[in-house]
Structure 1
Amino acid sequence: MTGSAGLLGSALRSVVARGGGALEVVFATRSDADLSDPRATRDLLGRTRPDVIVHGAARVGGIKANAADQTGFLLDNLAIDTSLFRAALDAGVERLVYLGSSCTYPRDHRQPLVETDLLQAPLEPTNEGYALAKLAGTRLCQFASAQHGVAYRALVASNLYGPGDDFSTDRAHLVAAAIAKVHAAKVAGSPTVTIWGDGTARREFTYAGDVASWILGSLPRLELLPPVLNLGAGVDHSVTEYYEVARSVVGYEGEFVYDTSMPKGMHQKLMDSSRARALGWAPATSLADGMLATYEKYVGSLVPA
């Protein structure tokens, strides 16, 4: 697995540790290879000789980071994917799972979004650079499979959350940011927490552990999956609702205030994951349970060693 230091990589490690069967998993991080470097990527695949690659490596960030560096997000992710796909094909790797993103769907399009909606309308401007790169990776799976007879499959994942999430100010996505901000307010005794936008934008978040379990279970049958497949919880919540769950799991009694001068992104991007459900996808972790597990791991990481 590439990008194994990230959220999904952490979830995959946990699933494998609980019983990965006969799988021998190499969890590759940037210290093993800079995937934007074609030679380093070829060397990594030469050393590990994988039967299948789960490609989760990407440069990711929240709305603030994406909007501030569109050029960097586009260039860096294109470089990572170009290097990895070319090395995989040259090495004869016949199976690959590519982690796409719901950001690749059009802005303010019909709800819920189905796989054929990709490229049907303009993207959300605040993360267009990242989305374009992930669209290219998704298409690469389709082109490579058709041209070379391999089973490269793109999973268009909803936003993910869970233990091991990134809680840093400039990189955190909504759930992690809500938990970190509400926790900080509780510790500081602050009576309010500021939410960007008006709180009405809706987002779909799926527990990373559920996604990791399903991916590992699907590896032996990649050939049976469609070229592109939505993988989401099937329900969305408003930004305010996520903050309310964060307030509950943290035990914070303050209030929310809204900064409507800040960007809020797409109003809604709920995906239709019915095709995945027909293939056995059944996420089991409730939002409250998942956010509680995420918060407990976050608080544990703050305790000095």
Structure 2
Amino acid sequence: MTRSRKLLLTGGGGMVGRNLAEHAALADWTILSPTRGELDLTDYVATQAYIERHRPDAIIHAAGKVGGIQANIANPVRFLVDNLDVGRNVVMAARHAGVSVLLNLGSSCMYPRGHDAALREEQVLTGELEPTNEGYAIAKIATARLCSYIRREDPAYQYKTLIPCNLYGRYDKFAPQHSHLVPAVIAKVHDAKINGLDAVEIWGDGSARREFMYAGDLADALVRALDSAATLPDMMNVGLGYDYTINEYYAAAANVIGWQGRFVHNLDRPVGMARKLVDTTRQRDWGWQASTSLENGIRKTYHFYLEEQP
């Protein structure tokens, strides 16, 4: 009987990790996904001991301390140090144990601020970072560079970094204080339908553009990468390569949910940056693209939202 391959998945309790664990192609893998209580990734000795003991065939590193703007501003030391420690510990312990495949998840906050054009991988470390999450971004950049340096010293180690665009999907956070755009839109439109409201407010004129990919598509890219790590670039964006206006996200959610009211634009409210889009040239050259349409992704996410309602 062929031995089942072992995958160590850090951050398995998050949206990315839970979508990945559900992917049908991982049925032949034994997934190790320790909770924070079972393994403190900020502790190098414990991390090394765990990896040495279980000897995974591959690692997907999706763990990290994440939070919104206010949390990043209030706790920059923790966002830098915790993410730096976790990234270093997982990567170095993997190398010490001889794990040959490691997929490290970066973040689009690694890119310089103030760019409206699609962000290319070679732009990392070419300009000023967004100050509100600079510590988190620095930690992500350092971990990505560490993976590249290890591969430079020994090409047998396929340590690659994938940089996803913004994500939404099953296991997302819908509470207003924690949610990003798509789950927030779903919750607002759902509440309007349930409460019989004929209008939903949109901040600004709705023309700002955002790129959000369904998390199940990122899981699909990661599964393909597990068996094709050697063909991956050292660093690669994973995204749609195109974006939608805020108005289009609201319209898609209304269509899925079945709400037929109207949208009211509040031009006195902040709208944030005009655009943030990742370039997917390397991804297309690698031979992969996201397959979930906006309405399909919202439909799957909305069904999960309904299942989670008390």
**In structure 2, what is the Cα distance between the partners aligned to 1:234 and 1:110?**
13
- Give matches, 1:149-168, under 5 Å: 149=155, 150-168=157-175
Q: 2:98 aligns with which of 76, 92, 95?
A: 92
User: Aligned residue for 1:2?
Assistant: 10
Conservation of the 8 A alpha-carbon contact between 2:112 and 2:125: yes
Match of 2:4 in 1: none
Cα separation, 2, equivalents of 1:177 and 1:271: 22
- Alignment counterpart, residue 245 of structure 2, candidates 211, 214, 238: 238
Whether contact under 8 Å (1:63, 1:126) holds in the other structure is: yes
Which of these residues, 205, 209, 231, is aligned with residue 224 of structure 1? 231
Alignment match, 2:220: 213
Q: Do residues 59 (structure 1) and 101 (structure 2) align?
A: no
Q: Does 1:187 align with 2:194?
A: yes
Distance, in Å, in 1 between the alignment partners of 2:136 and 2:177 is 15
Q: Does residue 202 of structure 1 match 2:209?
A: yes
- CA 1:171–1:41 in 2, change beyond 3 Å: closer, same or farther? farther
Tell me, yes or no, if structure 1 residue 30 matches structure 2 residue 36.
yes
User: 1:201: how far off?
Assistant: 2.8
Q: Equivalents in 2 of 1:123, 1:260: separation in Å? A: 27
Structure 2: distance between partners of 1:42 and 1:53: 13
Match of 1:128 in 2: 134
How many matched pairs?
300
C-alpha separation in 2, matches of 1:189 and 1:234: 37
Confirm whether residue 285 of structure 1 aligns to residue 292 of structure 2. Answer: yes
How far is the alpha carbon of 1:290 from its aligned partner? 0.2
Cα shift readout 1:216-246 (whole Å, capped 9, x = no counterpart) = 1221221221110111111111223222322
The residue number in structure 2 matching 1:42 is: 48
1:247 is displaced (CA, Å) by 2.6
Distance 1:209 1:129, change over 3 A: same
| Alpha-carbon displacement from aligned partner over 1:117-152 (angstroms, at most 9, x marks no partner) | 111122223332322222122212111211344211
Question: What residue is the counterpart of 1:139 in the other structure?
Answer: 145
- Given that residues 161 and 206 in structure 1 are in contact (C-alpha distance below 8 angstroms), is that contact kept between their aligned partners in structure 2? yes
**Aligned counterparts of 2:191 and 2:41: Cα–Cα separation in 1:** 35
Given that residues 95 and 151 in structure 1 are in contact (C-alpha distance below 8 angstroms), is that contact kept between their aligned partners in structure 2? yes
Query: Does residue 116 of structure 1 match 2:122?
Result: yes
SS, match of residue 155 in structure 1: strand
Which structure has more relative contact order (CA 8 Å, sep 6+)? It is: 1
- Mapped to 2, the partners of 1:268 and 1:163 lie a distance apart of 25
- Identify which of 292, 300, 303 aligns with 2:307: 300
Q: CA deviation at 1:77?
A: 1.5
TM-score by length of 2: 0.87
Q: Which residue of 1 aligns with 2:5?
A: none
Specify the alignment match of 2:83 in structure 1.
77
Q: 1:169: Cα distance to partner?
A: 2.9
1:25 aligned counterpart, secondary structure: strand
Aligned-CA RMSD value: 2.3
Structure 1 residue 53: deviation in Å?
0.4
Distance 1:197 1:127, change over 3 A: farther
Quick one: structure 1 residues 104 and 260, their matched pair in 2 at CA, closer, same or farther if it must change by over 3 Å?
farther
Name which of 79, 96, 107 aligns with 1:101.
107
Matched AA of 1:208:
A
Distance 2:135 2:250 in 1: 27
Asked if the contact 1:60–1:171 (Cα under 8 Å) also holds between the matched residues in 2, the reply is no
C-alpha distance in 1 between matches for 2:73 and 2:269: 15
Q: Which runs of 5+ in 1 are unaligned?
A: none
Instruction: Quote how far apart the aligned CAs of 1:159 are.
Output: 0.9
CA contact (8 A) 2:204 2:265 kept: no
